[in-house]
Amino acid sequence: MNNSTQWETVIGLEIHTQLKTNSKLFAGTDTTYGASPNSHVSMLEAAMPGTLPVFNEKVLRYAIRFGLAVGAKVIAKESTFDRKNYFYPDSPKGYQITQLNHPIVEHGTLTIQDKNGNDKIIRINRAHIEEDAGKSVHDKYAEFSGIDLNRCGTPLIEIVSEPDLSSAKEAVTYMKEIHSIVTHLGICDGNLQEGSFRCDANVSIRPVGQNELGTRTELKNINSFRFVEKAINIEIKRQIKLLESGGKVTQETRLYDSDKNETRPMRSKEEANDYRYFPDPDLLPVVIDQAYIDNEKQYIPEFPAAKIIRYTQGLEIKPDDAKIIAQDKSLAEFFDETVKSLKQAKAKTAANMLLGEFSALLNSNDVKVEDNNLNVAQFVGLLEALAEGKISHKIAKTIIEKMWGTNLLAEEIIKTEGLGQVSDSGELETIVKEIINNNQSQFAAYKEGDMKMFNYFVGQVMKQTKGRANPAQVKTILEKS
């Protein structure tokens, strides 16, 4: 390899998602975060002889919901649990219960946007159910490690992507997308600081055009979006430097040090990575039917990505606007309700006004959509009045301000305040004539072809009518004059 080699990055992510359940995966033990050490540990998590695991149904249902959300080809009607054997103090049983051979979810996909803004499909190999380990505290004692088993047995789904990600940026985009899905589903609280959402990254590089994958390293337990990007980038740099100087990448687990911004090999948990998996004899196969899976569909909300497509393709909303609306759950709900009731008015106008005048009012009053300072019926009425030509856009702005915090409809305000657009050509002609009479020299200039004067007259008419004149009509009258 020499320095002119072009490198390509291949990344796969394993995301550990802690499920938002009241009790643990295999026992009725409290899962609340932040309790004093070892207060949420039952006989089962302490691995006392004679204890047996009993599966938490909520975990099964949450895992199915995730499978449905990523369009998984397989949601297993029969899934099984296996033991992954290793000794570590934060796991008293000496093994982790996981799903190796028959995971609950397989072959899903997720669409992200690559750096050119094109859609890119990331395949999800599997999502399996497993239990979390306890926590070891290393910095508190010089000669000991402190063990807190509260987290031990907390349910996780591990979401494993195929190596379809080709940059640190894409990896972060994918991770954020998964985060958005599990939080929208309400199956995970998404709290990265508390470790509810953690990521391991498998990173390798290869010369562009080569088919075989390079040797990968695994970056462990990265718990912030920013660090994922930094850790992967620094690891790519390290691998390129290593290969270009004639070295070889060793397959190993590495730890990212955010203080030094470097990755370094982690001393292996055991000499050989031999987990001696075997089916857990304490647990029977989990058997469900199609009706059980279908029943979970009612809990799948429409995700922002799908909303964006519906808005841009179906309603012709600008992509940037669609994105802003779709990503704000309550704004999207308000918008959807509005669109449902529109007759003549266009969804596009609704989006513009929602992000324009409506959002401005939310900001200046420091309130949220759900505070209901303006209801859907009021908003629809305003949009219809605009679409019917009863009011100009400028007047619409005035009306929305007047409606704010009241239950008054646009129609009522137009009537009581006399804000209806002047479309009566007779009335308008009289006004235009009067203005021309009072501004003879400007009118002469206009007739000579000075277009600035044209705008001057339109402005005068608007001033006279307090913005209520129909601009198109003013134009026609002026042109005839």
Partner 1 sequence: MLINRKEVEQIAVLAKLHVSESEIDAIVTSLDSIVEMINHISEVNTDNTKPMANPMDAVQRLRADEVTETSIKEKLLSMATQTDEDYFLVPTVVE
Q: Which has the closest alpha carbon to 13: 197, 192, 151, 180?
A: 197
Q: Does 290 bind partner 1 (CB under 8 A)?
A: no
Among 74, 100, 255, 387, indicate the residue that binds partner 1 (CB under 8 A).
255
Cβ atoms within 10 Å of 101's Cβ, excluding its own:
12
Pick 29 or 378: Cβ nearer partner 1: 29
- Beta-carbon count within 10 A of 265 CB: 11
**Candidates 24-32, 121-129, 172-180, 242-250 — which segment interacts with partner 1 by CB under 8 A?**
24-32
- Our CB check for partner 1 shows the closer of 151 and 206 to be 151
Question: Which residues have CB under 8 Å from 60's CB, separation 6+?
Answer: 104, 129, 286, 288
Q: How far is 67 from 296, CA to CA, in rounded Å?
A: 10
Cα distance between residue 385 and residue 379, in whole Å? 10
264 burial (CB, 10 Å; 0-12 / 13-18 / 19+) is: exposed
Q: Which is nearer to partner 1, 101 or 210 (CB)?
A: 101
Residue 421 interacts with partner 1 (CB under 8 A): yes or no? no
Residues numbered 39-78 forming contacts with partner 1, rule: CB under 8 A: 39-43, 46, 54-60
Of residues 80 through 109, those in contact with partner 1 by CB under 8 A are: 80, 85, 87-89, 101-102
Residue 37 interacts with partner 1 (CB under 8 A): yes or no: yes
* Minimum CB distance to partner 1, residue 294 (Å): 17
For the four alpha carbons of 66, 71, 76 and 81, in that order, the dihedral sign comes to: negative
Q: Which is nearer to partner 1, 91 or 338 (CB)?
A: 91
* 8 A C-beta contact, residue 328 and residue 354: no
DSSP codes, 203-243: EEEEETT--SPPP-EEEEEE-SHHHHHHHHHHHHHHHHHHH
Q: How far is the CB of 35 from partner 1 (least distance, A)?
A: 8
Closest distance to partner 1 from the beta carbon of 179 (Å): 23
**Encoding tokens for residue 64?**
């199915």
Nearer to partner 1, 255 or 436 (CB): 255
| Binding residue (CB under 8 A) for partner 1 from 3, 4, 6, 36 | 36
Site string for partner 1, 325-364 (x = CB under 8 A): ----------------------------------------
180 binds partner 1 (CB under 8 A): no
The reply to whether 149 sits near partner 1 by the rule CB under 8 A is yes
**252 three-state secondary structure:** coil
* Closest CB 225 distance from partner 1, rounded Å: 23
Q: Within 10 A of 34 (CB to CB), how many other CB atoms are there?
A: 6
Contact status: 378 vs partner 1 (CB under 8 A): no
Give the C-alpha separation, 327 to 305, whole Å: 9
Positions that interact with partner 1 (CB under 8 A): 21-23, 27-30, 36-43, 46, 54-60, 80, 85, 87-89, 101-102, 136-138, 140-141, 143-149, 255, 266-267, 269-272, 274, 276, 279, 281, 283-287
